[in-house]
A = this chain, B = another copy of it.
């Protein structure tokens, strides 16, 4: 087993991941989508939601917990909205399909909104945003996990909600703005990572059963477990709590698929997708000029630390993507271990590292 980071050729990885998924039962089209969007997560630097999740995806397919092919069912539809049942099709297959449909709606009506229930785990939200921004569209994406309780309401010490991400994409005249954040103080994956590395969290993000704030990840896995606090923490957590309620309502309540329905569905997500066509509000070029002005204004603000200049969300991620496409996709030893497990599970040998 490798003890250091290794680099892999993008196309070789893409083919390998796709082969793994097909071995596990996915159709060629489903496999290509899942491989592409997981890898996109790695390219952008969201390594907890990249190919490290390939093994899960293959296992779900193998155990019949993902639908290997097929179409989402349209439950309900109006001019600018739809509610889909993905029937556990993989998120990386069904989400791009929904975004493309929402883009068509937005071109007609100005906005297009689709909720998707029973999407198998959708991985990195950031990976999908450019589908909209490349067509000059604004997009917001949220998801929740009916089977997961990890985040407490403000003032509580028991988990009620999933650690829901919120993502937006906005085109500019150069790189788009791509934002992908969780609305809690940390994400469950980061707590797992800290535990695995036998480290403390960088700050007190958890509330124990005794109502104490802690940075100890072990408490999250004890019984009764600690809960992740909403963004804003001890003083301003009512804001992150409100934003978390917002994301739970705009996903599960609107899609009419919440914890009563999906409590046994593991990592499967309920998704909110909204595409906005800026050209429905005025000239597209005037909109782009507004975005450019906001970026310029932001970058002109003097940094607290001159060595750490202000950054636009997504721009570092896109630079990382370009670099990895050229020089190879980088994996840490812990991730390589999971990729090798997947290679073994699917009987598809991992490509050789290029460096």
Using CB atoms and an 8 Å cutoff, list the residues of chain A in contact with chain B: 75-76, 78-81, 83, 108-111, 113, 115, 138, 140, 152-160, 166, 168, 170, 177, 179, 181-183, 185, 202-203, 207, 211, 231-232, 235-236, 238-243, 245-246, 248-250, 252-256, 258-260, 276-278, 280-283, 286-287, 290-291, 293-294, 297-298, 301-305, 308-311, 313
- Given the known inter-chain contacts A110-B80, A290-B253, please indicate yes or no for A310 contacting B236, CB distance below 8 A: no
Count this chain's copies in the assembly. Answer: 2
Q: How far is the CA of A290 from the CA of B256 in the complex (A)?
A: 6
Q: How far is the CA of A302 from the CA of B210 in the complex (A)?
A: 10
Task: Identify the closest chain B residue to A170 (Cβ).
Answer: B249
Contact in complex: A158, B301 (CB < 8 Å): yes
Main secondary structure of the interface of A (DSSP, over half): mixed
Contact of A181 among B170, B177, B202, B238 (CB under 8 A): B238
Contact in complex: B297, A259 (CB < 8 Å): yes
Q: How far is the CA of A240 from the CA of B233 in the complex (A)?
A: 13
Q: How far is the CA of A309 from the CA of B305 in the complex (A)?
A: 41
Q: How far is the CA of A66 from the CA of B108 in the complex (A)?
A: 35
Contact in complex: B211, A245 (CB < 8 Å): no
Q: Which of A239, A255, A277 has the most chain B CB atoms closer than 10 A to its own CB?
A: A239
Contact of A138 among B235, B254, B259 (CB under 8 A): B254
- Interface CB pairs A-B, < 8 A, 14: A76-B281, A76-B282, A81-B280, A110-B113, A115-B281, A138-B254, A152-B301, A157-B302, A181-B238, A181-B243, A183-B239, A231-B239, A242-B313, A252-B294
- Given the known inter-chain contacts A75-B282, A109-B81, A110-B81, please indicate yes or no for A236 contacting B301, CB distance below 8 A: no
Q: How far is the CA of A265 from the CA of B304 in the complex (A)?
A: 29
Contact in complex: A301, B253 (CB < 8 Å): no
Task: Identify the closest chain B residue to A239 (Cβ).
Answer: B181
- Point out the residues of chain B lying under 8 angstroms from A166, CB to CB: 243
- Given the known inter-chain contacts A76-B280, A211-B305, A239-B231, please indicate yes or no for A155 contacting B256, CB distance below 8 A: no
Contact in complex: A308, B155 (CB < 8 Å): yes
Q: How far is the CB of A152 from chain B (nearest CB, A)?
A: 6
- Given the known inter-chain contacts A80-B111, A108-B79, A254-B138, please indicate yes or no for A156 contacting B293, CB distance below 8 A: no
Q: How far is the CA of A155 from the CA of B309 in the complex (A)?
A: 7
Q: Which of A231, A294, A309 has the most chain B CB atoms closer than 10 A to its own CB?
A: A294
